[in-house]
Chain A
Amino acid sequence: MTKMQLIEQLSKKMEVNHAEAEGIVDAFFQAIVDALKKEDKVELRGFGSFRVKKRAARMARNPRTGAAVPVPEKVIPYFKASKELKQLIEGS
């Protein structure tokens, strides 16, 4: 499913036009991204949770030249599916 299909299905269920459904979808994911940017976690009961983990800075190598390249500290988002969602997927 693409974002477009998600918007389409939501617009049917909510009986709103495409633009409005797109507004809902964008507001929803933007809210999650904003929270994660603040390193806050996002918990959605029955679906799962998003949180960020820090990855320490390290020295890596350019595989072609072998030159050492510093990799800065990074913050990476993680998603953990809820038990309910895991069972739903597992059993299907």
Chain B
Amino acid sequence: MIKSDIVNVICERLKYNRPRAEMAVEELLQIMKDDLKTGERIELRGFGVFLVRAKKTGVGRNPKTGEQIPLQPGRVIKFKPSKDVLTGDSGAPAT
């Protein structure tokens, strides 16, 4: 599935014409990108959480040669899927 397939789904579900559905998808992704850029997390119940984490710093090694490489500071994105996203299971312990 690619972006254009999602655009088709939006066209159908919201009765939008294609340019409008395309705009909706682009705006949605842009809002998410802008938010992640500020280092904020995006929490989407029932889907998952996008987190921005600081990268480890220190000394890394090339495992093959043993050569030491400094790890640069920086930030990465992690996605933690909701437990129920594919199974419909809430992940809550049985009571």
- A79 touching B79, Cβ below 8 Å: yes
Which A residue sits closest to B12, measured CB to CB? A27
Which B residue sits closest to A91, measured CB to CB? B74
Give complex CA distance A33, B14 in Å: 18
Which of A1, A86, A90 contacts B43, CB < 8 Å?
A1
| Size category of the binding interface on chain B | 35 or more
Which of A9, A14, A43, A81 contacts B23, CB < 8 Å?
A14
Residues of B within 8 A of A3 (CB): 43-45
What number of A residues sit within 8 Å (CB to CB) of B? 45
Interface residues of B in 27-60 (CB under 8 A from A): 27-29, 31-33, 35-48, 50, 52
- B29 touching A31, Cβ below 8 Å: no
Which B residue sits closest to A44, measured CB to CB? B3
- A36 touching B32, Cβ below 8 Å: no
- A89 touching B52, Cβ below 8 Å: yes
- B14 touching A10, Cβ below 8 Å: no
> In this assembly, does A70 line the interface, its C-beta being within 8 Å of a C-beta of chain B?
no
With contacts A6-B44, A13-B27, A28-B28 taken as known, whether A88 is within 8 angstroms of B37 at the C-beta atoms is yes
Interface residues of A in 44-63 (CB under 8 A from B): 44-48, 50, 52
Residues of A within 8 A of B37 (CB): 88-89, 92
